[in-house]
Copies of this chain bind each other. A is one copy, B any other.
Amino acid sequence: MDEDELRTRYSRPAFEAAVAAAAASLQDGGVPIGAALEKDGRLLATGHNQRVQHGDPTAHGEIDCLRQAGRIGSYAGTILHTTLAPCAMCAGAIVQFGITSVVAGENRTFDGELDWLRSRGVTVLMLGDDRCTELMRQFQQRFPRVWAEDIGALPAEPDGADR
Contacts and interface: CB of A to CB of B under 8 A. Distances in A.
Contacts of A160: 73
Contacts of A155: 74
Interface in A139-163: 149, 151-158, 160, 163
Interface of A: 51, 55-59, 63, 66-67, 69-77, 87-93, 95-98, 113, 120, 149, 151-158, 160, 163
Secondary structure call for the A interface: loop
A93 B96 contact: no
A160 B77 CA distance: 18
Contacts of A158: 73-74
B92 A88 contact: yes
10 closest A-B pairs by beta carbon, nearest first, are A92-B92, A76-B156, A88-B92, A89-B93, A73-B158, A88-B96, A89-B92, A98-B152, A88-B95, A97-B152
